[in-house]
Amino acid sequence: MTEPRAVVEAPHFRQPDPVPSEAAASVLDGPDEGGKTRMLWSGGVSVVVHLPEQGLPEVLHWGRDLGDLSHGDFEQLRQARMRSVSPSALDAPWPLTLVPGEHDGWEGRPGFAAHRAGRAQYPRWTVADAGFETDIDTGTLHVRAEAPGLLLRSELRLDDAGVLRIAHELTNTGDEPLSLAALEAVMPVDDRAAEVLDFTGRWTRERVPQRGPLAQGSRVRETRRGRTGHDSPFVHVLGTAGFDTAAGELWAVHLAWSGDVVYRHDALPEARTVLGAGPLLRPGEIDLAPGESFRTPDAVFVWSDRGLDGLGDRFHRSLRARHSHPREPRPVVLNTWEAVYFKHDLARLETLARTAAGVGVERFVLDDGWFLGRRDDGAGLGDWTVDPEVWPQGLHPIVRTVRSLGMQFGLWFEPEMVNPDSDLAREHPEWLLQPPSTRAWRGQYAIDLTRPEAFDHLLGSISALVSEYELDYIKWDQNRDLIEAVHDGRANVHRHTEAVYRLLERLRARHPSLEIESCASGGARVDLGILDRTDRVWASDTNDPLERLAIQRWTELLLPLELIGSHIGPPTAHTTHRAASLDFRIATSLFGSAGIEWDITSCTPAELNRLRHGIASYRRLRGLLHTGTLSHPGTGDDGTTATAVVSDDRGHAVVRVARHATGNRALATALRVPGLDPDGRYRVAPVLELSVPSGLDEVPPPWLEHGELRLPGAVIADVGIQLPLLAPGEAIVLEITRQA
């Protein structure tokens, strides 16, 4: 049970967390001599921030909970860690502040950069007594700093999962405009950090990990795509040497933002290493008139001493604690795209809907092709009215059929885009975000949502359709990067992204029960900024299960399974032309927010029966899959991956082992499942509704012949379970239940 938030006043000590992994964020005030110190603590994490007599605060510690500290301990800690920038050539130790800059002796990438009428700004910040305060109820540290012509407000918020969010807000208090070039959040990491992990990717191969040694210097990853991007750094991680899924100490950051971003780390010879992120601001993009303010997106910092799965667990617990997090069971979705593409026909779609309902589908989503002039991807975007040639009675007939079958109804939109061949583009060419001379991309351009009239038009058009058809769901797509995105000649990616967020917020305020999926050419908009306003993401446009295993594994570093759309595609994947068995496709989609993207009217009765059983297994297990602790146990075999979910009470688990390539051994390695009660006794058996793969063994393991094992949790975790030798493209899914 989470304890109430509290402040422990001097000279008392902070009491230890009753349950360290669930403790509420609290605050401890340090001594006033030589400055002030505050400590946020929650979920096994401490953040200690010191405010000197002059200048901005400095983070003395971010990592493992330090336990009870007295005022004397604070002073000793300050003396132990204050030398954050080498004094070898300086007259006194200089600090590494929340917003590092040259005035503090920092020679890495600055946390703040701006100019006023061509004059570079090197602010001498001061923080008054009232500008370094804590909010007990939210576990937030507020810093209010001033410099001539500038006001900087910073928030550090530590939640119950030990996840730290940092945001800065800058106000121009001067008499002249201020051109902002950078405003980024940074945090120091331990000197033991020795390796770097981040991500890259492309369309249908998103979130590919890349890893290497931590080299000296300031290193920056930028994205300039106007959206999160297929090649997004995603989560930027520094870790101790050799960290892996279950072991190692890690410091990570994710920027909750769907526009251009900067991820950075600075490992300078003269200073502590820092990790950070912020919005990428193009020249002249953010000019603040006197009195205007700019707030950064949240930089989300996570520390773990349990490897990558420890990072993921903190992200997942933080997200699941949100008020907006989906609470209802995640319905089985059938999306029509790979079933019919642009060929919309009522009779065909009604047959598809009846077939879908017959195998257990709960939500039917009509994809691209329903609106005015949309017979291919070269026309119609922007004209959000139902095409009367294809749908003479509107969408009402298909909506009635879907609802009569007990399913919800959803609709695809791409609201931010417009085809030149559309009524909207012909009537309002001034609404385009790019100039007409911009090179074409999929035959479409973006609409400038910072224009109030364009914003209001889209909100009204979409809202009218949501009301008319009582839509349960929108698949919100965005299929191009933003190149030369300008408003009145000025770079406009940041303000446009803010407008996209407002459009989503206004739409949901009008229709509180509406759910929205974030899709952008598949997985090009997967971030916590968009997920503050949507209910799930489409991880990738590929439904090839072999590709999906890797894409979803790394998407799971940030997101829990219930937020990741994962569908059963056709026998031969649209994107790779690779064939996969239905059993393998079902096992892959099970670990996510499951669905189908396939013309299942072409299925044989045997295939429909397999689908029915696979969907039944998802519907039975989703309460566990979408609430339990996710891990990726090591298999000792580079050709296989294991994914496990264990319930919070450790009484129930489900594990998938999938083979994506052949291995070096002819004997399969044993599966070890962490997180069970070592003293509990468990039954291990294949998931009842799913097929057991034949594998490559002449004789399967004896326990599979009997159909089950009964073992203590300690044996399952430390000795393991012998599996069959799977062939590439096979998976086995096991259910583990505690016995009375």
- Phi, psi torsion values for 103, nearest 5 degrees: -60, -25
DSSP β-ladder status, 178-183 and 286-288: antiparallel
C-alpha span between 261 and 228 (Å, rounded):
8
DSSP β-ladder status, 408-413 and 473-476: parallel
Query: Residue for token digits 């407002």?
Result: 502
In angstroms, how far is the first alpha carbon of the chain from the final one? 25
Token pair of 138 as six digits: 């939210």
In angstroms, the Cα distances linking 487 to 261, 277, 293, 446 are 19, 25, 19, 12
C-alpha span between 381 and 440 (Å, rounded):
14
C-alpha span between 624 and 380 (Å, rounded):
42
The number of residues making up the chain comes to 740
Would you call 541 a catalytic residue per the annotation? yes
Helix ranges (H only) for 556-682 are 582-590, 605-625
DSSP β-ladder status, 363-366 and 333-335: parallel
Beta-carbon contacts of residue 655 (< 8 Å; ≥ 6 apart)? 633, 642, 643, 644, 645, 671, 673, 733, 734, 736
Q: What sign for the dihedral angle of Cα 14, 20, 23, 25?
A: positive
Whether the Cβ atoms of residue 588 and residue 562 lie closer than 8 Å to each other: no
Would you call 488 a catalytic residue per the annotation? no
Helix ranges (H only) for 335-432 are 337-340, 346-359, 396-404, 423-427
Catalytic residue among 298, 387, 477, 527: 477
Whether the Cβ atoms of residue 504 and residue 274 lie closer than 8 Å to each other: no
Tell me which DSSP letter residue 333 carries.
E
C-alpha span between 95 and 413 (Å, rounded):
50
Token pair of 230 as six digits: 């297929």
Whether the Cβ atoms of residue 172 and residue 185 lie closer than 8 Å to each other: no
User: What is the b/e burial string over 234-265, where b = at least 16 CB atoms within 10 angstroms of the residue's CB?
Assistant: bbbbbbbeebebebbbbbbbbbbbbbbbbbbb
Token pair of 214 as six digits: 């931590």
Catalytic residue among 368, 541, 544, 583: 541
Mind telling me the catalytic residues?
477, 541
